[in-house]
Amino acid sequence: MKQSGGTSSIARWGSLGGGEAIQRLLAFGALVLLIIFFSFWSPYFFNFDNLNNILIATSVVGVLALGETFVIVTGGIDLSIGTVMTVSSVMCATAVVRWGLPVPVSVLVGIGTGGLMGMINGVLIGRMKLPPFIATLGTLNVARGLSLVIAGLSPIYFPTDELHGLIMGSTIGVILPAFPIPNIVIIMLGGALLAGLILSKTVLGRYTYALGSNEEAARLSGINVVKWKIAVYALCGLFAGLGGVLLAARVNSAQPTLGFGYELDAISAVVIGGTSLAGGVGTILGTVIGAFIVKTLADGLQLVDVPQEWQIVATGVVVIFAVYLDIVRRRARQS
Amino acid sequence: MPEPLVEMDGISKDFPGVQALADCHFDLYAGEVHALVGENGAGKSTLMKILAGVYRGDTGSIRLKGSPVAITSAGAAQRLGISMVHQELYLAPHLTVAQNIFLGREPRGRLPYVLDERILNDRAAELFEALHLHLDPRKRVSGLAVAQQQMVEIAKALSFKADVLIMDEPTAALTGIEIDELFRIIRQLRDRGVGVVHISHRLQELKQISDRVTVMRDGRYVSTLATADANIDQIISMMVGRTIFESAPELPEHPSTDVALEVRNLNRGRLIRDVSFQLHRGEILGIAGLVGAGRTEVARAVFGADQVDSGDIFVKGTKVRINSPTDAVKHGIGYLSEDRKQYGLALGLNLETNLVLAALRRFVGRLGWVRSGMTRAAADLQVRNLAIKTPSLKQIVRNLSGGTQQKVVVGKWLTAETDVLIFDEPTRGIDVGAKSEIYRLLNDLAHEGKAIIMISSELPEILRMSHRIIVMCEGRITGVLTAQEATQAKIMTFATQRASAA
């Protein structure tokens, strides 16, 4: 039989689904507006070199944000990704410089370091039931300190350009010389595709949503909540590790103090992209758009001569704005 | 006689402050519907949650088809063929109907860990067809009405092809036709050899659906009877054991005609629609209705905990603005949440602190120091006044029993000198013995001239306690009854009177 509430709930569902689509459209619209705005304001903004710079700058934060999306969809948070990225880049460089490992293996060392740190986060949160905020605040500092310890307080420089060339070179440029978009951008977009498929098509993705939507329901459905939480944080760590490799390749060295603060950019990107800090809602496409918004804003402010110190202030304001946006959205969804 | 499918023996379970189960027994045969009845807090759900792996019993043994089993988690229970429909809805609102039903055992695609959404939706559709349910597998659960969500829960439990199916008050949120449909499905399963446990408050249902009845009381096993041999009165007297209402004094003769609180045309989205009522000094006003009817929402709105779209509130004839609980307390309105632990008490703090918390301002000296002599005296007064059983004022509230905790919340509002007290499910989760004390307390408070609103899902409770009863459905007041004219049937009629059906 037909429920009396049937029609109204169809309408409600339709508007909810529509709401999410509108949300992504809004974010995309904001990005376009931002680009138009800065194009008029600064003559240096809308040209290939600058747009290419934005793409490159977005790549590292974008990769971090991909992993962070999974964590935030579960209703958690990972504050450690910035410095986990740092320690991953340090380990990658250590593998090349001190252990003499070939570059491809060192890349895996870097990514694996991130995965390991993420797994530690997962165990702390899933098994030992620490609140995600505190657990990852702890690992943030562990990773930050370890970076300095391992690197011995100073940067580690790669002896050759091999990794730099691999990541910052442009395979597309060989085919289309007019658009020498570096591989780092392609890697980020490839990572986004992979993350998108994982989130929407795999068991891990389904459980990521289920954990954020109603953890007790997931548990009572026989899902091993601890195991899957560890998997989600480990995945987030793997992306942070990849971010570390990309960062090391970009500056052709491991800088043990570079990375702290990146987590806020990544979290802003995720939330601007429509992922709710309350969990259960979010998409990878949204996160990618969010990452571009964050970095376009940073680039544009620099071009219109906003002083560096005020740019930092702007980053903080963006985080606060993004989180407030999430609260407004959630309230709208409820009523 | 064949071997029982399930045998539970000597099951005990303690929760902090309350013994939920003591030495309980239960058995279930294949192909029977076994009803489990008892008052709220009798331990029915707890016992079945132990069987379904949600809780672990402190003592006792469970045998499944004759062999002892250890049920360590919900997943383990499901693997053993035991499936449970919970009273609370355990669905992920952001996922679709089909995704919820197959959560934890999604059909996989060709690659490992990759989902096959089409098979998922097809299987859900097949399942609904077999059950004659009209549900769209692709629809998001957050967009469903409560009754539909309940059907999703039931379909989910059935999809496990379980040998043992436990249903915890599956009919609470359903209407007549939906209940008939559910019973048809239950009979179908029974004939297929499934053992079904049916937990219910509605005793009339027992004759319709069950083969045997087990009665529980105060966390103990009382008796098991063949339904055909039992009559409802007999079952009721087993459930109650002693007549708990006997000890509760009669209602105070007549409440005064002074209006303590008046609400006019309260509106809040779909949750509260045009609600108006008056509450008199010395009156207990019951608010009845099904879960989700908007009763708690009205209480929270009057208390300023939620913002309303429109409506006026008058306290003792004067119009007041209540935008926050602070305003409400200032105007002498106190709210006792149904979830004492989460909203009513600071569980980790001691009794004295809890008792004075809502009125702390009165006990603050000139430099901002809390004057401990005064708080001790005020707390002591409430402990004596309400007969709160505690070793000392410094006892941590978490370690007090449910009934005593409820008294502490009352004491807190009395210290704050409130005249209007709103009780939301005041006896939920309280042992039967302590209930009558709460009833007596409510009567005493009314007698002293406090104006009381009591929200309750238990009809006998609301019928015995209230001077007047407001019945709500879908955010509206659908009926107002005096104590003399009210009956369970009348209340249920109003409570299911949906606007769309009228």
DSSP letter, residue B227: G
Contact (CB, 8 A) for B198 and B175 = no
Minimal CA separation from B280 to chain A, in Å: 32
First-to-final CA distance of chain A: 27
Contact (CB, 8 A) for A38 and A304 = yes
Give the tokens for residue A9.
């709930």
Q: Report CB contact under 8 Å: B143, A3.
A: no
| Residue at A3 is within a domain | no
Minimal CA separation from B164 to chain A, in Å: 16
Q: Report CB contact under 8 Å: A13, B143.
A: yes
Tell me, what's the ipTM? 0.84
From CA B194, how far away is CA B214, in angstroms rounded? 18
| Residue at A166 is within a domain | yes
Minimal CA separation from A209 to chain B, in Å: 7
Give the tokens for residue B224.
């098991």
Task: Specify the DSSP element, H or E, that contains B371.
Answer: none
User: What are the extents of the domains in chain B?
Assistant: 6-240, 257-332+451-502, 333-417
Minimal CA separation from B245 to chain A, in Å: 37
Contact (CB, 8 A) for A105 and A275 = no
Minimal CA separation from B393 to chain A, in Å: 32
- Taking contacts as CB-CB distances below 8 angstroms, the residues of chain B near A219 are 74
**Residue B215, SS3 per DSSP:** strand
Q: Report CB contact under 8 Å: B94, A281.
A: yes
Note which residues in 222-251 of chain A have CB less than 8 A from chain B: 222-224
- Taking contacts as CB-CB distances below 8 angstroms, the residues of chain B near A9 are 143-145, 148
Q: Comparing C-alpha atoms, which of B434, B481, B441 is closest to residue B462?
A: B481
Q: Tally A–B CB contacts below 8 A.
A: 104
Q: Report CB contact under 8 Å: A214, B86.
A: no
Sequence-distant contacts of B337-341: CB under 8 A, at least 24 apart: B337/B424, B338/B296, B338/B424, B338/B425, B338/B428, B338/B455, B340/B402, B340/B405, B340/B406, B340/B409, B341/B405
Cβ within 8 Å of residue B171, ≥6 positions away: B179, B182, B200, B202, B205
Contact (CB, 8 A) for A239 and A84 = no
The least confident of A91-105, B44-58, B284-298 is B284-298
Nearest CA in chain B to A8: B143
- The Cα-based distances of B487 to A333, B214, B278 in angstroms read 39, 27, 21
- Sign for the CA dihedral angle at B160, B161, B166, B168 comes to positive
pLDDT reported for residue B63: 95
- Taking contacts as CB-CB distances below 8 angstroms, the residues of chain A near B54 are 220
Nearest CA in chain A to B141: A13
CATH of range B6-240; options 1.10.540.10, 3.40.50.970, 3.40.50.300, 3.40.50.2300: 3.40.50.300
Task: Specify the DSSP element, H or E, that contains B368.
Answer: none
| Residues belonging to chain A | 335
Its pTM stands at 0.78
Please, which pLDDT band fits residue A18 given cuts at 50, 70 and 90? very low
- Taking contacts as CB-CB distances below 8 angstroms, the residues of chain B near A214 are 90-93
- pLDDT tens-place string over residues B451-481: 999 998 878 888 888 999 999 988 999 999 9
- The answer, yes or no, to whether residue A320 has pLDDT greater than 50, is yes
- Taking contacts as CB-CB distances below 8 angstroms, the residues of chain B near A1 are 134, 177-178, 181
- pLDDT tens-place string over residues B322-368: 999 889 988 999 998 877 777 778 888 899 999 988 888 888 887 88
The least confident of B137-151, B412-426, B486-500 is B486-500
- The answer, yes or no, to whether residue B18 has pLDDT greater than 70, is no
How many domains would you assign to chain A?
Answer: 1
- pLDDT tens-place string over residues B150-170: 889 888 888 888 899 999 888
- The answer, yes or no, to whether residue B17 has pLDDT greater than 70, is no
The mean pLDDT value of chain A amounts to 90
- The answer, yes or no, to whether residue A14 has pLDDT greater than 50, is no
- Taking contacts as CB-CB distances below 8 angstroms, the residues of chain B near A199 are none
| Nearest neighbour of A218 by CB, restricted to B92, B142, B269 | B92
Minimal CA separation from B86 to chain A, in Å: 10
- pLDDT tens-place string over residues A73-116: 999 999 999 999 999 999 999 999 999 999 999 999 999 999 99
Nearest CA in chain A to B117: A201
Superfamily of B257-332+451-502 according to CATH: P-loop containing nucleotide triphosphate hydrolases (3.40.50.300)
DSSP letter, residue B317: T
User: Hey, do B6-240 and B257-332+451-502 end up sharing a CATH topology, with the first three levels equal?
Assistant: yes
What integer is the mean pLDDT of B293-309?
91
From CA A73, how far away is CA B322, in angstroms rounded? 36
- pLDDT tens-place string over residues B64-105: 999 999 999 888 998 899 999 987 778 999 999 999 999 988
* A194 HSE (CA, 13 A, CB side): 13
| Nearest neighbour of B269 by CB, restricted to A201, A205, A335 | A335
Q: Report CB contact under 8 Å: B92, A210.
A: yes
Q: Report CB contact under 8 Å: B143, A280.
A: no
- Taking contacts as CB-CB distances below 8 angstroms, the residues of chain B near A205 are 115
Q: Report CB contact under 8 Å: B115, A9.
A: no
| Residue at A149 is within a domain | yes
Q: Domain limits at A82?
A: 59-293
Minimal CA separation from B476 to chain A, in Å: 15
Q: Report CB contact under 8 Å: B94, A6.
A: no
Sequence-distant contacts of A98-106: CB under 8 A, at least 24 apart: A103/A162, A103/A163, A103/A166, A106/A163
Q: Report CB contact under 8 Å: B178, A1.
A: yes
Sequence-distant contacts of B335-338: CB under 8 A, at least 24 apart: B335/B299, B335/B300, B335/B302, B335/B303, B335/B305, B335/B422, B335/B424, B336/B406, B336/B409, B336/B410, B336/B413, B336/B421, B336/B422, B336/B423, B336/B424, B336/B426, B337/B424, B338/B296, B338/B424, B338/B425, B338/B428, B338/B455
**Residue A285, SS3 per DSSP:** helix
pLDDT reported for residue A17: 41
Task: Specify the DSSP element, H or E, that contains A151.
Answer: helix A132-151
Using DSSP bridges, classify how beta strands B6-15 and B18-28 pair: parallel, antiparallel or unpaired: antiparallel
pLDDT reported for residue B431: 62
pLDDT reported for residue A222: 84
**How would DSSP label each residue in B240-291?**
HSS-TTTTSPPPPS---S-EEEEEEEEEETTTEEEEEEEEETT-EEEEEE-T
From CA A322, how far away is CA A27, in angstroms rounded? 11
Q: Report CB contact under 8 Å: B134, A1.
A: yes
Query: Which of B80, B87, B95, B308 is the best mutation test for A, with the most CBs of A within 10 A?
Result: B95
Cβ within 8 Å of residue B11, ≥6 positions away: B21, B23, B24, B25, B26, B47, B50, B57, B59, B60, B62
The mean pLDDT value of chain B amounts to 86
pLDDT reported for residue B427: 79
Q: Report CB contact under 8 Å: B86, A220.
A: yes
- The answer, yes or no, to whether residue B498 has pLDDT greater than 80, is no
Percent of chain B, pLDDT > 90?
39
- The answer, yes or no, to whether residue B130 has pLDDT greater than 90, is no
- Using a CB–CB cutoff of 8 Å, tell me whether A180 touches chain B: no
- The answer, yes or no, to whether residue B239 has pLDDT greater than 70, is yes
**Residue B50 CA to its chain's centroid (Å):** 19
Q: Report CB contact under 8 Å: A213, B269.
A: no
- Taking contacts as CB-CB distances below 8 angstroms, the residues of chain A near B308 are none
Minimal CA separation from B192 to chain A, in Å: 24
